[in-house]
Amino acid sequence: MRAEYSDIGVDQRAAQDVISKQYLNWFPSAHVGYELNTQNTIQLSYSYRINRPRFRSLLPFSNFSDARNFRQGNPDLDPEYTHSMEAGYLKYWETGSLTSSIYYRYRTGVIEDITLIDPVTGFAIRTPANLALEHAFGVEFAGNQDITDWWQLNGSLNFYRAITQGAFTTPEGQVLDLSRDTYAWEGRVNNQMDLPKAFKAQFSFSYRSGQITPQGRSLPMYGVDLGINKEILNEKGTITLSVRDLFNTRRWRQEIRTDEIFRTIEAQRWGRQQFILSFNYRLNQEKGRGGRGGARPGGGGDF
């Protein structure tokens, strides 16, 4: 059980508008596991979580991507709350493991970006707002496998359906129906390889499908990351070359389609393409070595 107290205040002196919110929340969670034998385990979990608006989303000021498209925060934005329930089955074997799970998540106060047209200027204004609620349920798989003694593979795959129910009333009194029913999936594959001459390499690919949004749809997004390193100076030093978003394709894209608007938005939300060369030297430290086979699925082992 966790308790959190929040005190939020926004004072817009130019508009003579003061917004003040205080809330105390309790967040219970429970996790239960039962080991059937050394190779099979079942798990059940429940948690209640909060997702507070980012500071930038609360700022009432406008910024613009071009002369006719603006983004503006919403100081009256409330947090999202999520009830999450999950049942999982873990299978282990000598060279790997697999986790299969089904889940259900119930969210209230769902935060979504909406785009409105200013009736005076005709400009598009994009702002976050709280919708009513969302039901999401799906199935997820995560695992790892030692293909050979020099090649390890791990990855995850998630299929889900999300049903959102909500509406928004514009300053002019128009009610926008922002309900949606969408299916989507996402996955990631990561390869780690021990190469000749003490080189190590890592190659990963991630993909997120498109899905329906309250005012249109998001487009698929994918990307490739690559890393290679070599230990030098009697294994006390490591030189690493890593490339994030190798083909410069990891771009968030969304189409907005309403009776008044058709617009495409593109952004690199997770950072631009990067090439990084680094050197690390260990002083009187032994290099940590971890086991491989049978490890629990999870981390990608990024360099």
| Residues pairing with 86 in the sheet | 45, 103
pLDDT for residue 283: 84
Q: Give me the percent of the chain exceeding a pLDDT of 90.
A: 55
- pLDDT tens readout for residues 26-65: 999 999 999 999 999 999 999 999 998 888 888 777 777 6
pLDDT for residue 73: 87
pLDDT for residue 58: 83
Average pLDDT value for the chain: 87
Domains of the chain plus CATH, in order, are: 2-281 (2.40.170.20)
pLDDT band at 295 (very low <50, low <70, confident <90, very high): very low
Angle at 211 between CA 247 and CA 191, to 5 degrees: 40
Q: Which of 108, 111, 109, 103 is nearest to 84 (CA)?
A: 103
Other Cβ atoms closer than 10 A to 152: 22
Torsion angle of the four alpha carbons 98, 99, 100, 106, in this order, in degrees rounded to the nearest 10: -160
Asked if residues 268 and 249 have their Cβ atoms less than 8 Å apart, the reply is: no
- pLDDT tens readout for residues 150-192: 999 999 999 999 999 999 888 888 888 999 999 999 999 999 9
pLDDT for residue 292: 43
pLDDT at 136 over 90: yes
